[in-house]
Structure 1
Amino acid sequence: MQRSDVTRDDGTWMGLSLDVPDGRRPGLCVFSAGQRLMVSQLSRPVLLAVVDERLQGVDFWRTDEYRSFVPPLRADVGRALAGSPERWAHRFAQYLIDSSGSPMHEGRWLLSCESPLRRWRHADDPHAEYWSSMLVEGHPDGYLDWFMHSHSWEVLPLRPMPAAEDSRVKAYRKQAREGTLPPVLLWWVSGLDCHLILDGHARLAAAIAESVEPPLLQLHRTVPRDDLAARIDEAVGFYEDELARLAELRAVHGPTVPDGAATAGPQLVRLLHDLDAAEQPTWAWPLPGGEERWLRLAGEVTAGRDWPP
């Protein structure tokens, strides 16, 4: 796997671009059968979902079969890497690529410390209140409401969130107060329009209990490397064509026509940044056996309950 740094317009670090070689299949992946989805880890269903016919939301069922591929993070490691999302990103990138139970497959990914989740919080809202509101409730079943929360990028835990008095949460609460809490690892899944927690359920619970902003690392697919060069050429070509068009107008109408550098230049910068960082749809594989198999699996994991409602 190749890693390269991705920076903001001002040159500060914002994430790692991860190029995964061809042929790698994920251990944690999304399968689809019409409007029915299944998230599976090493052949174990961890989440079943049905998209509403009117596309207003998703009914889901968690199976409690998800297992984090990240080993326990010691407090001394948290102190050593505190305040360095870049070093944490390199550490988590290694867990992602080394584990057979991670969602990494061939293509290009971004592991970023930036997340749209941060942009939604009003400055006056307590962290505990905001992050609690972003958690999708319900266990084992629940509902992702796209009508009320369209593009709010909620967070769906892959197992029940531990209580504030849980022993692991208590240990992490001390780190949250000290500012040494390791990041929560999220995976953006476009078919659900939400983030899944890959690792850090207890750390997020600790941040909420202490009402501090949780450090985050968000994983999502981005523009594949084989498409990137062509799309960069396309963006640069548009920039050059725009400057040439305005130059022709200036030759006719004089310097009252802008040369375009003040508008086309920043637009090119934004386009190139988006190519490095923009989210791409999550891959989903056709579920072998289709809807019939999905229904059979749903009957097994729900013990025959009348689900979805």
Structure 2
Amino acid sequence: MQCSNVRRDDGAWVGLSLDVEDRRRPGLCVFTAGPRLLLSQLSRPVLLAVVDEQLQGVDFWRTDEYRSFVPPLRADVGRALAGSPERWAHRFAQYLIDSPDSPLHEGRWLLSHESPLQRWRHADTSHGEYWGSMLVDGHPEGYVDWFLHSHSWEVLPLRPMPDADDSRVKAYRKQAREGTLPPVLLWWVSGLDSHLILDGHARLAAAIAESVEPPLLQLHRTVPRDDLAARIDDAVGFYEDELARFAELRTIHGPTVPDGAATAGPQLVRLLHDLNTAEQPTWAWPLPGGLTQWRRIAVEVTTRQDWPL
């Protein structure tokens, strides 16, 4: 895996670009059978989902089979890395690549400490209220409401959230108050239009209980390497076309017309930045056995013939 820092044009650190090779199918894998999804971890069903016919949401059934690939994070490590999302990102990137049951597969990824979730909170809403409202309820079954939460990208836990008085949550609440809480690791899955919690259920519960903003690391796919060169050429071509257009206008109207660099230059920078940061749809693999196999798994997992209704 090749790992490189992604920065803004002002030098601010955004995240790590992960270029993964020789990993054709991940251990934590999304399978599809028509409008039905299966999230499986090393052949263990973790989550079943059905997109409704009106495309307004997803019914899901969550099993208790998900296992985090991140080892327990000690309090002294939290204190040592506090305030350094870059150092945390390098540590989590190593967990992702070393584990056989992470979602990484061939392609380019971004592991960023920035998330759209952090931009939606209103100033008059506390952190506890906001992050509590972003959690998808329901265990074992529930519903992700795309209509009500259009493009606000809720957070879907892969196991039940622990209570505020859980022993792990109590330990993390102290770290949340001290500002040494390790980040919550999220994975944006386009087929669910949600962020799945890969690691940090107790840490997020602690942040909500203490009403502080939880530190985040968000994982998502970016533009694949096969398309990158063509996308760069397109961005540079747009820049050159804009300069040529302004040059024609200057020929007609004189030197009072700007040369266009002040407009086209920042646009080029944004386009190139997006190639390393913009979210790309999550890859999914056809489920062997198709719909018949999905239904068989659903009956085994739910012990019900009528799910989904």
Same topology, TM > 0.5: yes
Shift of 1:41: 0.2
Aligned to 1:298: 298
Aligned to 1:202: 202
In the alignment, the residues of structure 2 paired with residue 146 and residue 295 of structure 1 have an alpha-carbon distance, to the nearest angstrom, of 24
Runs (4 or more) in structure 1 with deviation over 3 Å come to: none
Shift of 1:262: 1.7
Shift of 1:228: 1.2
Aligned to 1:63: 63
Name the SS of the counterpart of 2:133 in structure 1.
helix
In the alignment, the residues of structure 2 paired with residue 116 and residue 91 of structure 1 have an alpha-carbon distance, to the nearest angstrom, of 22
Q: 1:13-37 deviations in whole A, cap 9, x for unaligned? A: 0100000013442000100000000
Q: 1:33-53 deviations in whole A, cap 9, x for unaligned? A: 000000000001100000000
Q: Which moved more, 1:201-210 or 1:16-25?
A: 16-25
Shift of 1:234: 1.3
Aligned to 1:77: 77
Q: Which moved more, 1:179-188 or 1:223-232?
A: 223-232
In the alignment, the residues of structure 2 paired with residue 197 and residue 295 of structure 1 have an alpha-carbon distance, to the nearest angstrom, of 25
Q: Is the contact made by 1:22 and 1:107 (CA closer than 8 Å) also made in structure 2?
A: no
Aligned to 1:138: 138
In the alignment, the residues of structure 1 paired with residue 264 and residue 22 of structure 2 have an alpha-carbon distance, to the nearest angstrom, of 36
CA 1:68–1:23 in structure 2 vs 1: closer, same or farther (change >3 Å)?
A: closer
Aligned to 2:89: 89
In the alignment, the residues of structure 2 paired with residue 26 and residue 64 of structure 1 have an alpha-carbon distance, to the nearest angstrom, of 20
Name the SS of the counterpart of 2:100 in structure 1.
coil
- What's the % identity of the aligned pairs? 86
Aligned to 1:263: 263
In the alignment, the residues of structure 1 paired with residue 201 and residue 105 of structure 2 have an alpha-carbon distance, to the nearest angstrom, of 24
Shift of 1:74: 0.2
2:253 is aligned with 1:253: yes
Q: Which moved more, 1:154-163 or 1:254-263?
A: 254-263
Aligned to 1:243: 243
Shift of 1:305: 5.1
Name the SS of the counterpart of 1:31 in structure 2.
strand
**AA matched with 1:75:** A
TM-score between the two structures when normalised by the length of structure 1: 0.98
Aligned to 2:156: 156
Q: 1:207-237 deviations in whole A, cap 9, x for unaligned? A: 0000000000000000112221221121011
Shift of 1:72: 0.2
Aligned to 1:110: 110
* Aligned-CA RMSD value: 0.9
Gaps of 5+ in 2: none
Q: Is the contact made by 1:57 and 1:145 (CA closer than 8 Å) also made in structure 2?
A: yes
2:223 is aligned with 1:223: yes
Name the SS of the counterpart of 1:212 in structure 2.
coil
Q: Is the contact made by 1:184 and 1:216 (CA closer than 8 Å) also made in structure 2?
A: yes
Aligned to 2:2: 2
TM-score between the two structures when normalised by the length of structure 2: 0.98
Name the SS of the counterpart of 1:53 in structure 2.
coil
Shift of 1:123: 1.6
**AA matched with 1:159:** R
Q: Which moved more, 1:263-272 or 1:188-197?
A: 263-272
| Count of aligned pairs between the two proteins | 309
2:184 is aligned with 1:184: yes
